[in-house]
Structure 1
Amino acid sequence: MRPEKQYLVEEVSNHLNKSDYVYLTNYERITVDEIAELRAQLSEFDAEFHVIKNSIFGVAAAAQELPDLGEYLKGQTAIVVGGDNPSGVAKVIGEFFKKKDKVEMKAGILNERALTKEEIEALAKLPGLEVLRAQLLGLLTQPATGFVRVINAVPQGLVNVLQAKVRKENGE
C-alpha cells in the first residue's frame, strides 16, 4: 500500500479507536456551514464528524476486525465517532438529519455489532445517559426506601395504639 494511503488508513483507525461505536452517514447534499453546525452539536457529546473515503474505511475496519459494512460504503460517506454516549449522539444526528432533510444515516457499529439505520433510530429514541442513570438509581433506592418506611411504621403504629389507649382511659 502506498504511504499516503497507509497514512489515511491509520488516521481512520485512530478515529475508530475513539469510541465503541461508529455511525456511517451520507453527507451528499449537506453544505459546509451545515457540517460546521453538526460538528458543534456533536462536540457537546465529545463526538466528531469526519469525511472519509469508502475504501479507506473498509481497510481500517477490516484491520480492527469490525463487522463488514461494505454494502453501505457507496456514495459519499462520513463517520461519526467519539464520546461515551452513543444514544445521545444518535439522537443529535437523527434530529439534525430530520431538520435538514438532506442527509441520512447509512449504518453503524456499536460494541463490534453492526447496526442498521432502523436500529440506530431506535437507539436515538432511548433516554439520555444521565436520565438512564437517574432511573437506575431510583430503582436501586426503592427497596431501601420501602424497608425504612416499614421499620418506621412499626413504632409509629405502637405510638398510635398507645395514644388511643390513653385517650380511652382518660375518657376522651
Structure 2
Amino acid sequence: MRPEKKYLVDEVSTHLAKSDYVYLANYERITVDETAELRASLAEHDAEFHVVKNTIFGIAAGEKEYPDVSEHLSGPTAIIVGGNNPSGVAKVLNKFFKDKEKVDLKVGIFNDKTLDKQQIEALAKLPGLESLRAQLLGLLTQPGTGLVRVLNAVPQNVVNVLQAKVRAENGE
C-alpha cells in the first residue's frame, strides 16, 4: 500500500477508535454552511463528522473487523463517530436530515452490529443517556424507599397506639 493511502487508512482508523459506533451518511447535496451547522450540533455530544473515501473506509473497517457494509459504500460517504451517547447523536442526525432533506443515513455500526436506517431511527427515539440513568436510579431506589416507609410505619403505629392508650387512661 502506498504511504499516502496508508496514512488515510490510519486516520480513518483513529476516528473509528473514538467510539463504539459509527454512522455512515450520504452528504451529496449538503452545503459547507450546513456541514458546519451539523458539526456544531454533533460537537455538543462530542461527536464528529468526517468525509471519507469509500475504499479507505472499507480497508479501515476491515482492519477493525467491523461487519461488511460494502453494499452501502457507494457515492459520497461521511462517517459520524465519537462521544458516548449514540442515541443522542442519532437524534441530532435524524433531526438534521429531516430538516434539510438533503442528506441521508446509509447504515450504522454499533458494537459490531449493523444497524439499518429504521434501527437508527428507533435508537434516536430512545431517551437520552442522562434520562436513562435517572430512570435507572429511580428504579433502584424505589424498593429501598418502600422498605424505609414500612419500617418507619411500625414505630409510627406504635406511638399512635400508645398515645391513644394514655388518652383513654386519662379519660380524654
TM bin (shorter chain): over 0.9
- Alignment TM-score, normalising by the size of structure 2: 0.97
- Alignment pair present for 1:17 and 2:17: yes
| Pairwise CA distance, 1:8 | 0.9
- Alignment pair present for 1:159 and 2:129: no
Measured against aligned partners, the alpha-carbon deviations of 1:2-22 in whole angstroms (never above 9, x if no partner) come to 221111111111110111100
Query: What is the SS of the residue equivalent to 1:78?
Result: strand
| Pairwise CA distance, 1:166 | 2.3
| Pairwise CA distance, 1:159 | 1.0
Could you list the runs of 5+ residues in structure 1 that have no partner in the other structure?
Answer: none
Could you list the runs of 5+ residues in structure 2 that have no partner in the other structure?
Answer: none
Measured against aligned partners, the alpha-carbon deviations of 1:38-86 in whole angstroms (never above 9, x if no partner) come to 0001111110000011111011100111111111111111000001111
Following the alignment from structure 2 to structure 1, what is the Cα–Cα distance between the partners of residues 133 and 2? 47
Partner of residue 139, structure 1: 139
Following the alignment from structure 1 to structure 2, what is the Cα–Cα distance between the partners of residues 30 and 167? 81
| Root-mean-square deviation (Å) | 0.9
Aligned residues: 172
Quick one: percent identity of the two aligned structures? 74
Partner of residue 89, structure 1: 89
| Pairwise CA distance, 1:125 | 0.6
Partner of residue 61, structure 2: 61
Following the alignment from structure 2 to structure 1, what is the Cα–Cα distance between the partners of residues 169 and 101? 79
Partner of residue 78, structure 2: 78
Following the alignment from structure 2 to structure 1, what is the Cα–Cα distance between the partners of residues 96 and 127? 17
Partner of residue 109, structure 1: 109
